[in-house]
Amino acid sequence: MNLKTETILEQIDDLFNARSVAIIGVPRGFKAGKLFLLALLDQGYTGAIYPVNPLAKDIDGLKCYPTLSAVPGPVDLAIVLTPHDQTLGVVKECAQKGVKGVVLFTAGYKETGTEAGAALEAEIVALARSSGMRLIGPNGMGLYCPKTGLSFFPRLSKVSGPIGLISHSGSLTNILGFMGPRKNLCFSKVVSLGNECDLSTQDLLAYLGQDHDTRVIGAYIEGIQNGPAFLKALRRASLNKPVVLWKMGLTEEGSRAAASHTGAMAGKRPIWEGVVAQGGGIAVEGFEAFADTLMAFSLLPHTIGRRVAVISGPGGLAVSAAEACGKEGLQLADLSAATRQALKALIPAVGTSAQNPVDVGLTASIDIELYIQSVRIAAADPGVDLLVIIGIGLSPEINRHYTEALIQARNEYQKPFVMVNIPGFEPELGQRFCEAGIPFFDSAERAMAGLSRIIQYRQWRQVQTEPDLETEHQCELKGWPKINFPSPAGRLSEYQAKQFLAAHGIPVTREILVRTADELPAAMTFIGYPLVMKGASGAVDHKTEKGIVITDIRTEAEAQAAFHRIMVRLEGDGKAVLVQEMIQGQRELVAGMVRDPQFGPCVMFGLGGIFTEILQDRAFRVAPLLRQDALELMGAIAGRGILEGVRGMPPVDKQALADVLMALGRIGLAHDNIDQIDINPLIIQGDRPVAVDALIILK
Amino acid sequence: MNLKTETILEQIDDLFNARSVAIIGVPRGFKAGKLFLLALLDQGYTGAIYPVNPLAKDIDGLKCYPTLSAVPGPVDLAIVLTPHDQTLGVVKECAQKGVKGVVLFTAGYKETGTEAGAALEAEIVALARSSGMRLIGPNGMGLYCPKTGLSFFPRLSKVSGPIGLISHSGSLTNILGFMGPRKNLCFSKVVSLGNECDLSTQDLLAYLGQDHDTRVIGAYIEGIQNGPAFLKALRRASLNKPVVLWKMGLTEEGSRAAASHTGAMAGKRPIWEGVVAQGGGIAVEGFEAFADTLMAFSLLPHTIGRRVAVISGPGGLAVSAAEACGKEGLQLADLSAATRQALKALIPAVGTSAQNPVDVGLTASIDIELYIQSVRIAAADPGVDLLVIIGIGLSPEINRHYTEALIQARNEYQKPFVMVNIPGFEPELGQRFCEAGIPFFDSAERAMAGLSRIIQYRQWRQVQTEPDLETEHQCELKGWPKINFPSPAGRLSEYQAKQFLAAHGIPVTREILVRTADELPAAMTFIGYPLVMKGASGAVDHKTEKGIVITDIRTEAEAQAAFHRIMVRLEGDGKAVLVQEMIQGQRELVAGMVRDPQFGPCVMFGLGGIFTEILQDRAFRVAPLLRQDALELMGAIAGRGILEGVRGMPPVDKQALADVLMALGRIGLAHDNIDQIDINPLIIQGDRPVAVDALIILK
């Protein structure tokens, strides 16, 4: 961690621990801005609160100041509610007052899509930077921290807990803070970032990643401004604790909505999937999945196993829980003979099952002890890692007893329990389970999905070697030649592209550029049969479609004929024929480099040949790639089986393939003037990849 | 509809309209069996109720009879609660009494996995059949019908409604019947089938499909006993009304659980997906999706358009609703200029959006009219098909006003409204929306998924030509020769297989079987160059892996050499070489026929060549295939783009390909002794498919 990062983390910490807050522009009447004042009062904030409004002497019983400079003591945090056209003046005042951080609530900046809005935002940022203040927003609600009493909305939970939350939407943090107690979602530190003109998602990821009050991080993200910094912060935080990510802008509809909400830039789903995989994030889609996953990570240990025992009375829900278990990659635990024996002795003989899922039968809704004792028997089985319980009694009294008995059993057996709601369960009982650390999911499908995400995180964490990212991510870029090819078409020819790739360590076909028939015999001898000839005029783009690629040439006569056939069909200047060894291999891949507007150079890998466009089976990783990233990238495509020993072909040399992918990332970082690289096909010859055709597009 | 079907439908109708019910083996005390009696009393059943128990004079104030024959009047429906070892005698008594239908509640039959259990079940069925009685169960709960007062569990809703429900799980029907009023899920006729030893899912599909009280059908299915009959019933019902299917047993875990619950047989997911597509079903996974979809279909018109306007206060939820909209294939409506103008005039200038999704801003939580008026403005826009509304006020009073105002707006504009829950919304308000016919979903993601399923059904229904299924499904099978090849290996040789396929109209490679070098020249002349030679001994299985396939032979000398090379490598008797035209084409497909234990012969289609196993990109349809089924099957694989004009290749002749797929289905139906057919590769030459290699496995 460099000094700058440390400074930012201290600055953020200062804001969450602000000892005085000024609310500038707080309205006298009951308007939206009033909620900020009500929020601090409701949360019991013990620091100084300074309402600022030139038109009022006091507001809601608090003395009101005409200007910020009129406030007697120091102000750590200023919440600015004035319209955007007055904000610049107010921020100047904040700087003069020595405020540490400013929350800009008002909208009207970048998200309007106007130049004026963006310019104003930039001016405010420049001002803050020059005076050492940090900004949150604009179009954001600021900080909520039950421990220090900061809040931006009344009636949010007052209980501190393990969840750190970063959000581009203020209302989402309100809703979670409001519903929190029902699911025991308790927050350490919450920030609503809005347009994040200054403090950004990655700054907060870095902060919460090392915050001792935070055990799990959630982030609702509309857009990412500095992709590489975000990825680095994500990976670093994920090494310490799970980071649950709900990302907008992965569909066209969502992108447009995000742009008009917080000025966020759209992202591409496959790139985002690569970022999540590289950074160890846990990606979810939808509010329910987001809240469920935060609940699971905050209530359950992160070391749970995958052997699940399901205890259910409703037979259909038992079966559907088993189905969901299989779908999410969990296992139904094999109950021991002793466990099955004990269950058989307990539950009725017919209409039940002493196998897993345990179906205790309809009678259990009358005799609730059948549930309780079955749960105890299963919990005692050493082959069971955790219990998923689906059951309910016929009256509120029975269910209160049931709830406490299950909590007691969990405490005795010290094994994770998970409850599944059955409509009709009293909501307060669900809340009681959550308070006791037993997550209460609305359905078996959602319970299994939540558990599976914990296991997914555990697996990612286990294989991380914790390389020193700073060192590891440095790559040897010095001394590489810049591209210096003539390129009137804005791109390199196949021959030039492959020369360039070869110079960077990527294996390519042996080939010679031939301009006259006289040069052919020497080329033939050098390359050897069978060979391929391709027209090489700069004007030609889709070679296979214009009859200027001839394969499997076996004699000099065939070669001469092919040469003339191609030359006749070529158009434009610089006609030539590329004489190329013919690579034998049925496995055609594609590899390349693209520049993502948010994440910079990214390496692409997928199925090649005619399947490139048809299947779009490709995945991405952000450059630079660790060797581990490259190996995971190969495993991220649906057709990954092609890399194994199929149909008598040897398994692909994955280290050699990783070298190609890592080289493409390094090239992307080193050569700003390359916009895109496509190696297609990258054919597997024997067990090693060879670039058979390549396209390099320059900026 | 044939006479037998009509009879079954009348028999089922008689059961739902039973005028007297005997409960045989009803317990005196409060045990599970007592719930059946309590259910009828609770539901206000007005027919005669006859408790039968030899040990009691009366039960819960009702006169009790020692035996069924002691009951004075006729008995339409008998609910049998006696243990399974007494059931046979009781069912005999029912037959003597002239009972119309028997519900067998007790378990202990096929689902135990024992021979004795299955045998007892079969004996009971035989007895019932011979006496014209219908059976429900065993291991099932029977009938719930608010209109006639039948019920199997106390406290189920007493309100009749449009949903017909078929379930292998009794508890699932209880839960839906119990929670129903909260979401306005109201049922016409519900049946809990258990092991379905007699009346089956397809019988009930046929019944509910033509039932005038039923507008949407839901089915929770653990297993299917007669696949073709099920498919026929599904398709017929789907032509009349939507059928929502929640199927278990698509994972290994779920299959095992379903087997021990109702003795159901496991199914394969890709076959099931084919069945759903052919039958027009709406497949869902999970309890929430099942309930959501039933709610959507029962409250909304089935003709909704896809242009959605989202009205939201919470900006983050607006963005996520837009995202879900895109993901589910719905469209965000383009609001007219007038609509946007009116919205701009209404809502605050900053921190909002007058685009779709409409973000009315934080202020709306204080000024609820902003929501109400925005909804009215959007509802008036002719470019908007339906409204999805996400918003809430700060107090219960405000929200009651809000609810009624939105219901009124819906009534005025006569456009479908959909509400999305925000945690904190009072549950009774959600119930009020549903009562008014406005579905209330727990999240935007689930709302969009529900809407998308309605549109999916509408689309399916629109393209159905309503062929007379009985006629259409007849296919010309007469006069086809049975296979009469020698097949010591239990399978046909490539040559035999292709002769057989060709005889059934499937285009295959031209080829000649050659046993001696003398026969070669004539074969060369007949086939023409380039050609392929393949070893044809019966002992060889994976040809490409043993060096006995030589392609691209261009001269007689090459042919002679190849012949000898192959003959030397062949083992066993009957050595020969297949001389075959070489099919030129980059597009390799696979087509075939498999026998599914539940659905019988199914046609398989997918990507072939080396991708067959790697991508497993294949789909299935049950034989026989309508032409429309064959065309849809081609569109059901991920790589369907390969059939279009790609890389300069012509689009595939889909009618020719459909002929192949339909022929495979007919062969499967006509030839019981064929277990499996694999045509791989089926190469596209030009635009037409040719079977290049084929395997036929006999039973």
pLDDT confidence bin for A444, thresholds 50/70/90: very high
The pLDDT tens digits for A630-668 are 999 999 999 999 999 888 899 999 999 999 999 999 999
Length of chain A as a residue count: 699
Taking residues B3-21, report their average pLDDT.
91
Match 């009375």 to its residue by tokens: A313
**Closest among A249, A190, A243 to A216, alpha carbons compared:** A243
pLDDT confidence bin for B277, thresholds 50/70/90: very high
Taking residues B68-76, report their average pLDDT.
96
CA angle A323-A326-A327, nearest 5°?
Answer: 85
Q: Residue A541's pLDDT is what?
A: 52
Give B268 to chain A, closest Cα distance, Å.
13
pLDDT confidence bin for B264, thresholds 50/70/90: confident
Q: Which residues pair with A600 in a beta bridge?
A: A596
What interhelical angle do B269-279 and B227-240 show, nearest 10? Answer: 40
Instruction: Give the lowest-confidence range in A208-212, A415-419, B473-477.
Output: B473-477
Instruction: Please judge whether B253 and A139 are an interchain contact, meaning their C-beta atoms are less than 8 angstroms apart.
Output: no
Taking residues A517-543, report their average pLDDT.
82
3-state SS, residue B23: strand
Q: Residue B488's pLDDT is what?
A: 66
* Mutate: best of B355, B394, B614, partner A, most A CBs <10 A: B614
Average pLDDT, chain A: 91
- Closest residue of chain A to B29, computed from CA coordinates: A366
Give A564 to chain B, closest Cα distance, Å.
23
Taking residues B502-531, report their average pLDDT.
92
By Cβ distance, the residue of B172, B355, B615 closest to A314 is: B172
Share of chain B above pLDDT 70, in %: 95
Q: Residue A252's pLDDT is what?
A: 86
By Cβ distance, the residue of A261, A362, A648 closest to B171 is: A362
pLDDT confidence bin for B490, thresholds 50/70/90: confident
* Mutate: best of A260, A331, A431, partner B, most B CBs <10 A: A260
**Closest among B533, B518, B612, B598 to B566, alpha carbons compared:** B533
Give B221 to chain A, closest Cα distance, Å.
9
Supply the DSSP string of A393-428, one letter for each residue.
-SSHHHHHHHHHHHHHHHHHHT--EEEE--BTB-HH
Q: Residue A352's pLDDT is what?
A: 85
* Mutate: best of A323, A332, A634, partner B, most B CBs <10 A: A323
Average pLDDT, chain B: 91
Instruction: Please judge whether B287 and A349 are an interchain contact, meaning their C-beta atoms are less than 8 angstroms apart.
Output: no
* Mutate: best of B260, B292, B634, B683, partner A, most A CBs <10 A: B260
CA B225 to each of CA B197, B201, B222, B228, B231: distance values in angstroms, whole numbers, following the listed order: 9, 9, 10, 9, 11
Residue A476 pLDDT > 80: no
Instruction: Please judge whether A545 and B648 are an interchain contact, meaning their C-beta atoms are less than 8 angstroms apart.
Output: yes
**Closest among B560, B509, B557, B513 to B537, alpha carbons compared:** B513
pLDDT confidence bin for A324, thresholds 50/70/90: very high
Instruction: Please judge whether A614 and B639 are an interchain contact, meaning their C-beta atoms are less than 8 angstroms apart.
Output: yes
What's the pTM?
Answer: 0.93
Residue A426 pLDDT > 90: no
ipTM of the shown complex? 0.90
Residue A1 pLDDT > 70: no
Q: Residue B470's pLDDT is what?
A: 47
Q: Please, which residues have CB within 8 angstroms of residue A130's CB and are 6 or more apart in sequence? A: A95
Q: Which residues pair with B167 in a beta bridge?
A: B192, B220
Residue B662 pLDDT > 60: yes
Q: Please, which residues have CB within 8 angstroms of residue B294's CB and are 6 or more apart in sequence? A: B163, B176, B185, B216, B218, B244
Q: What is the largest CA-CA distance in chain A?
A: 101
Instruction: Please judge whether A326 and B170 are an interchain contact, meaning their C-beta atoms are less than 8 angstroms apart.
Output: no
pLDDT confidence bin for B570, thresholds 50/70/90: confident
Question: Are the C-beta atoms of residues B563 and B514 closer than 8 Å to each other?
Answer: yes
Within 8 A of A315 by CB-CB distance, chain B residues are 169-171, 261-262
Q: Residue B684's pLDDT is what?
A: 97
- Closest residue of chain B to A333, computed from CA coordinates: B253
Residue B545 pLDDT > 70: no
Within 8 A of A35 by CB-CB distance, chain B residues are 362
- Closest residue of chain A to B362, computed from CA coordinates: A32
Q: What CA–CA distance (Å, rounded) separates B352 from A160?
A: 31
Within 8 A of A542 by CB-CB distance, chain B residues are 648
Residue A570 pLDDT > 80: yes
- Closest residue of chain A to B638, computed from CA coordinates: A615
- Closest residue of chain A to B171, computed from CA coordinates: A314
Question: Are the C-beta atoms of residues A481 and A503 closer than 8 Å to each other?
Answer: yes
pLDDT confidence bin for A472, thresholds 50/70/90: very low
Instruction: Please judge whether A357 and B257 are an interchain contact, meaning their C-beta atoms are less than 8 angstroms apart.
Output: yes
The pLDDT tens digits for A214-271 are 999 999 999 998 999 999 999 999 999 999 999 998 888 888 888 888 777 767 899 9
pLDDT confidence bin for B263, thresholds 50/70/90: confident
The pLDDT tens digits for A575-595 are 889 999 999 898 999 999 999
Length of chain B as a residue count: 699
Taking residues B436-450, report their average pLDDT.
96
By Cβ distance, the residue of A182, A257, A614 closest to B322 is: A257
Q: Residue B83's pLDDT is what?
A: 87
Instruction: Please judge whether A443 and B288 are an interchain contact, meaning their C-beta atoms are less than 8 angstroms apart.
Output: yes
Q: Which helix (H) or strand (E) holds A136?
A: strand A134-136
Within 8 A of A179 by CB-CB distance, chain B residues are 423-424
Question: Are the C-beta atoms of residues B35 and B61 closer than 8 Å to each other?
Answer: no
Q: Residue B472's pLDDT is what?
A: 46
Within 8 A of A608 by CB-CB distance, chain B residues are none
Taking residues A561-585, report their average pLDDT.
88
Instruction: Please judge whether A642 and B614 are an interchain contact, meaning their C-beta atoms are less than 8 angstroms apart.
Output: yes
Residue A692 pLDDT > 90: yes
The pLDDT tens digits for B352-388 are 889 999 999 888 888 999 999 999 999 999 999 999 9
By Cβ distance, the residue of A285, A323, A641 closest to B614 is: A641
Question: Are the C-beta atoms of residues A205 and A280 closer than 8 Å to each other?
Answer: no
